């Protein structure tokens, strides 16, 4: 008789027991949005927007911060504010959401894709240093899957080579390195408030920096070129990348809950990693000692197939089996950018500056073996909502992973694709 739920066995957690929902709201949020609606002040430097911006920047211990349209735009504004543009090279980790690289292409820079560390999936700084050329202007570090790039090492490298440092913190609202918030260590820190993020307004973005002149330049770039405090003597060419007051209202409400939620997820993740570390063939991601508070957009772990003595299966099989035990959307991590279905710079005519640039932005020219292994073979990830519950919920996750490992022989190499897709579709 089958033991695994994916083959008809009894699941660890029945479908009727629901996981915490995301996104969430309170009635006070609805009242705040109604108040904003009645105010007739709906956008363009509204009071709610700036109240949130100051509070969010202050929470991370940043001197300056401002809202923008989305996380992709936040990176684009950072690049333009640092005067990075046509033919300049920007080092980007090969495992990240495609927007990190796409923002570089959108300012006509060249994303140079670099592999990641096998135990954090964050930028391998040594490989980044090897990729630096005379055209390199910046390094973008992405703090990913509850892990953080070696911030101190990146800062030393950027200082030594005269490069800008941009932090992509789309996964890391409320994360702290040596008790200081992420996004405050680089020249610019960039956040996303898209619906599934740990702080959400449906869509939205944020930039942090520690230099007033740089802050004012980002402000102008996101506000139709206007100078700070409507100083029209210092205008620049730009567009409208602003946030609305309604979005700011949702963010202000969410910020009141953020720290408690982050601490709960972090405690659950620490406990879950302790349990997973005891399961043969399961490897938690590495938590750097400087991380004093981790934030989780996704929780992830790795499968050591050699330890399990299995060569015929992939992480897609494993993820589907765990998903069936818990009725939750486990799946492989991000596609490597050199073969990502959504990162296709050659499909936009405006990117064809000339033949040389066209060749440079071809992602297929980069080799990313660690990223490829994580996506194709060893990595498993799940949305942060499963960490928002109780210790019992976490115990069930560990129990499900252990059950799949124990009965790994039940998983067939030719498991129907439709079945695997069914469980991947559960991801938020």
Q: What is the pLDDT of residue 367?
A: 98
As a whole number of Å, the CA-based R_g of the chain is 22
Which residues make up the CATH 3.90.1150.10 domain(s) of the chain? Answer: 5-21+258-335+373-424
Which residues make up the CATH 3.40.640.10 domain(s) of the chain? Answer: 27-253
Residue pair 2/412 in contact (Cβ under 8 Å)? The answer is no
Q: Which residues contact 28 (CB under 8 A, 6 or more apart)?
A: 253
| 64: phi then psi, degrees, rounded to nearest 5 | -135, 150
Listed as ranges, residues in the chain with pLDDT below 50 are: none
Tokens standing for 356? 């040389």
Residue pair 364/372 in contact (Cβ under 8 Å)? The answer is no
Q: What is the pLDDT of residue 420?
A: 64
Tokens standing for 284? 């938690």
In CATH terms, 5-21+258-335+373-424 corresponds, of 3.90.1150.10, 3.30.70.260, 3.40.470.10, 3.40.50.1260, to 3.90.1150.10
Class for the domain spanning 27-253: alpha beta
**Side-chain-side CA neighbours of residue 112 (13 Å):** 18
d(CA 34, CA 383): 30
Q: What is the pLDDT of residue 414?
A: 76
Q: What is the pLDDT of residue 423?
A: 62
DSSP annotation string for 203-224: S-EEEEES-HHHHHHHHHHHBT
CB atoms within 10 A of CB 14: 10
């Amino acid at each position: 008789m089958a033991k695994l739920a994916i083959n008809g066995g009894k699941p660890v957690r029945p479908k009727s027991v629901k996981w915490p929902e995301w996104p969430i709201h309170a009635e006070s949020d609805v009242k705040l949005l109604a108040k904003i609606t009645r105010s007739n002040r709906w956008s363009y430097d509204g009071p709610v927007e700036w109240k949130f911006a100051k509070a969010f920047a202050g929470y991370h211990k940043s001197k300056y911060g401002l809202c923008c349209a989305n996380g992709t735009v936040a990176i684009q504004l950072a690049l333009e504010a640092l005067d990075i543009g046509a033919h300049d090279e920007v080092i980007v980790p090969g495992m990240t959401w495609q927007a990190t690289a796409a923002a570089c292409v959108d300012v006509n820079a060249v994303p140079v894709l670099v592999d990641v560390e096998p135990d954090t999936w964050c930028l391998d700084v040594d490989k980044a240093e090897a990729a630096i050329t005379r055209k390199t202007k910046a390094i973008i570090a992405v703090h990913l899957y509850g892990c953080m790039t070696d911030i101190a090492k990146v800062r030393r490298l950027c200082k030594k080579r005269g490069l800008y440092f941009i932090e992509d913190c789309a996964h890391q609202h409320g994360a702290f390195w040596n008790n200081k918030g992420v996004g405050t260590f680089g020249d610019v820190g960039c956040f996303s408030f898209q619906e599934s993020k740990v702080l959400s307004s449906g869509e939205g973005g944020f930039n942090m920096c520690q230099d007033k002149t740089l802050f004012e330049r980002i402000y102008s770039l996101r506000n139709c070129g206007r100078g700070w405090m409507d100083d029209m003597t210092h205008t620049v060419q730009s567009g409208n990348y602003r946030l609305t007051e309604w979005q700011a209202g949702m963010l202000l409400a969410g910020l009141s809950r953020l720290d408690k939620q982050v601490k709960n997820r972090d405690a659950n993740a620490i406990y879950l990693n302790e349990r997973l570390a005891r399961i043969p063939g399961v490897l938690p991601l590495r938590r750097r000692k400087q991380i004093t508070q981790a934030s989780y957009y996704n929780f992830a772990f790795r499968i050591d197939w050699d330890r399990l003595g299995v060569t015929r299966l992939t992480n897609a099989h494993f993820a589907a089996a765990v998903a069936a035990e818990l009725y939750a959307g486990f799946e492989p991590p991000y596609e490597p950018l050199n073969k990502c279905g959504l990162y296709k710079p050659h499909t936009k005519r405006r990117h064809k500056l000339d033949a040389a640039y066209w060749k440079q932005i071809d992602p297929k020219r980069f080799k990313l073996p660690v990223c490829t292994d994580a996506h194709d073979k060893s990595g498993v990830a799940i949305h942060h909502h499963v960490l928002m519950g109780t210790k019992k919920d976490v115990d069930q996750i560990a129990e499900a992973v252990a059950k799949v490992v124990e009965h790994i022989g039940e998983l067939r190499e030719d498991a129907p694709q439709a079945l695997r897709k069914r469980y991947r579709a559960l991801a938020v």
